[in-house]
Structure 1
Amino acid sequence: MPIEHRPDGTLVYGYLDTAARQGAGASDAVLVRDEDRPYQAETRPYRLGALGACEITGEDRVRVSSLRSTAAPAGEHLLGLLRDGNGRLEQDGRLAPLSTGEFLLYSGSRPFRLEFDGPYRYFLIRLSTAAFSISRGFTANRDILGPPSARILGAMLMELADQAARLGPLAGHELGHHVTAVLRTVLHESSRPAPPGDGVALLERVLDHIDRHLGDDLPPAAIAAAHHVSVRYLHKLFQQQGHTVSDHVRRRRLDRIRQDLADAALAHLPAQTIAGRWGIKDPSHFSKLFRSEYGLSPREFRREAIAGRPD
């Protein structure tokens, strides 16, 4: 991790963008102020598929401030987990305390301030800008820790940080995808109320129906008719969960396709044949959807998945 001592603190960069050679212009550049002595910390960078990650361990109280950088992608967000210690995160007019085992979201492309009291261990993940559209209402906001899914994500991140050094490329890629998926669930739960009345049971039946018929034609009208509700009410159920019916069907199909592409027993089948089995018939459309969701083409994913599995 390159550092540069300055009169106003220590410039730190290259902890997420390990190829950075731009100092203050690097996409992950921050200014660290240590009141007692020159800043010192141990960093361990990791790669989790499309996600960059790093664990930072220090002994002293520090204050971290963002630096304006044209290299930081617009819309970039960071997921920070405090493994040990106590701290605070400030952004977008909110100041949120952070304790051991808790995580918060913040934007790397807008001003923020992060403080740690004394010894700390901090696990940081840079999220893929293609995977999320995160509103300012979620940054430095402890409300995202409220849903049950947030407790699951927190435990998952703690264990991921413990095991990150032992993960192979394929496992890291798949776990990065799982982190993205669970975080998306946390954000949906944080911002959307539960379906009213008997909507919960109905939504569960609809989700089960979709999973059992992914290979069929699944327009919203057919799903609504199968459950004797209007299309408008069906859309309302999904909008309360933060996505559309079509979004859910597409993601479930891509997940089944991904599982089949990683299955060596199905390696003789063309990727498009597998996609067709799960309801995605257009080859070019399938390739674009798959790359957008997983960051690899179907062929690249299959090659990595099968090559990484034991015989």
Structure 2
Amino acid sequence: MPVEHRKDGAVVFGYLDTESADRSRAFDTVLVRAADPYRAAFRSHRFGLLSACDISGDHRIQVRPRQSPATRRAGHVLGLVLSGSGVLEQSSRTAALAPGDFALYSGTRPFRLDLSGPYRYLVVSLDAATASLVRLIDNATSNRELPRTPSGRILAAALTELAHCASQLGPLAKQEIGEHVAHLLRTAIRDLDRGADPGTRAPLFARVLHFIDRHLAEDLSPVRIAAVHHISVRYLHRLFHDHGETVCDHVRRRRLERIRRDLADFALADLPVYSVAARWGMRDASHFGKLFRAEFALSPRRFRKHVLGTDNAAQR
């Protein structure tokens, strides 16, 4: 792990951005200050589109970003305290971190992370889709409530187990679990933005969501969905408005998530991209490509190539 000891601390990089040998271009470059010369154990992992590093140290440290204008891309990360304690400050927000707590923050904006040792800290880089969502929902950054939401607690438990079991997972398991973690994180961020569940209409809304998931390959116009559930179209729109999105937005997002999952499946690698999209109700290849890029910040072909690590003839 590249560590450059300087008078003002240790410059550390390459623990997430393992492809970069130049700290001026690495998105994970930080300056670490400690009372003694900085020493830590690093264990890097790859989970599909997510990079992670399990970092352990004995002494209290202070971490600040140290990036240059040549940095390759923005570095939104999630940090989970496994042992010890920490405090994260960014965007005028402060989040105290006990074991099992996590926080989102950006390496491209000023932050301060204090970790009290002995500590163990898991840091995870976000995939492009999740990073784009964080930029849209800015209150997720350094928000102390995020790990306390129901979906946030599930995510924290999953990340804790992932850190303990990472060395026992094979390549395919790591890839699939990375997809699950990314979905959980996006769910937690969206839940934070939506606020409390209205509750009184929850059973009906749950039935509507279940129906949509079971019929994604079919016509899912608001008129049909409302008729099946014996409600007016206006009332259907109100149900979704209470949860912070429209009917059509939800259907589109669920279809794209299913397509994204299938594009990352080795068993479907020989199926052309447009066929995967058509399986989930998106039959206009050009329109689908634009929607996929807007949602996940990558074209479907580039996403599949990146995840599967192969130039499959079906992608061309």
Q: What TM bracket, shorter-length normalisation?
A: 0.7 to 0.9
Change (3 A) 1:206 1:40: same
- Please tell me whether the aligned partners of residues 77 and 127 of structure 1 are also in contact (alpha carbons under 8 angstroms): yes
Greater CA drift, 242-251 or 102-111: 242-251
| Identity among equivalent pairs (%) | 50
| Residue in structure 1 matched with residue 4 of structure 2 by the alignment | 4
| Residue in structure 2 matched with residue 33 of structure 1 by the alignment | 33
Tell me the CA shift for residue 153 of structure 1: 0.6
- Please tell me whether the aligned partners of residues 27 and 75 of structure 2 are also in contact (alpha carbons under 8 angstroms): no
| SS state at 2:145 partner | helix
| Residue in structure 2 matched with residue 234 of structure 1 by the alignment | 236
- Please tell me whether the aligned partners of residues 72 and 108 of structure 1 are also in contact (alpha carbons under 8 angstroms): no
> Which of 146, 169, 172 matches 2:171?
169
Tell me the CA shift for residue 239 of structure 1: 3.8
Change (3 A) 1:247 1:304: farther
- Please tell me whether the aligned partners of residues 59 and 120 of structure 1 are also in contact (alpha carbons under 8 angstroms): yes
| Residue in structure 2 matched with residue 78 of structure 1 by the alignment | 77
Greater CA drift, 127-136 or 8-17: 127-136
Alignment size in residue pairs: 304
Change (3 A) 1:272 1:301: farther
**Cα distance in 2, alignment partners of residues 267 and 8 from structure 1:** 49
| Residue in structure 2 matched with residue 183 of structure 1 by the alignment | 185
**Cα distance in 1, alignment partners of residues 199 and 154 from structure 2:** 26
- Please tell me whether the aligned partners of residues 28 and 75 of structure 2 are also in contact (alpha carbons under 8 angstroms): no
- Please tell me whether the aligned partners of residues 75 and 129 of structure 1 are also in contact (alpha carbons under 8 angstroms): no
| SS state at 2:142 partner | coil
Return the TM-score normalized by structure 2.
Answer: 0.83
**Cα distance in 2, alignment partners of residues 121 and 302 from structure 1:** 28
Letter in 1 for 2:112: R
Residues 176-217 of structure 1 show CA distances to partners (whole Å, capped at 9, x for unaligned) of 221111111112222223453632112111112212322211
2:246 maps to 1:247: no
**Cα distance in 2, alignment partners of residues 137 and 156 from structure 1:** 23
- Please tell me whether the aligned partners of residues 27 and 73 of structure 1 are also in contact (alpha carbons under 8 angstroms): yes
Change (3 A) 1:162 1:196: closer
- Please tell me whether the aligned partners of residues 14 and 20 of structure 1 are also in contact (alpha carbons under 8 angstroms): yes
| SS state at 1:89 partner | strand
2:102 maps to 1:103: yes
Tell me the CA shift for residue 108 of structure 1: 1.4
- Please tell me whether the aligned partners of residues 76 and 129 of structure 1 are also in contact (alpha carbons under 8 angstroms): no
**Cα distance in 1, alignment partners of residues 112 and 176 from structure 2:** 31
- Please tell me whether the aligned partners of residues 188 and 241 of structure 1 are also in contact (alpha carbons under 8 angstroms): no
Change (3 A) 1:271 1:194: same
| Backbone CA RMSD of aligned residues | 3.0
Residues 63-90 of structure 1 show CA distances to partners (whole Å, capped at 9, x for unaligned) of 1111243244665411001111111111
**Cα distance in 2, alignment partners of residues 26 and 259 from structure 1:** 28
Change (3 A) 1:301 1:239: farther
| SS state at 1:279 partner | coil
Runs of 4+ with >6 A deviation? 266-269, 301-305
| SS state at 2:37 partner | coil
Greater CA drift, 18-27 or 4-13: 18-27
**Cα distance in 2, alignment partners of residues 81 and 180 from structure 1:** 15
Return the TM-score normalized by structure 1.
Answer: 0.84
| Residue in structure 2 matched with residue 21 of structure 1 by the alignment | 21
Residues 106-146 of structure 1 show CA distances to partners (whole Å, capped at 9, x for unaligned) of 11110000111121111100102333321332222211122
2:238 maps to 1:216: no
| Residue in structure 2 matched with residue 152 of structure 1 by the alignment | 154
| Residue in structure 1 matched with residue 55 of structure 2 by the alignment | 56
- Please tell me whether the aligned partners of residues 62 and 117 of structure 1 are also in contact (alpha carbons under 8 angstroms): yes
Change (3 A) 1:207 1:168: same
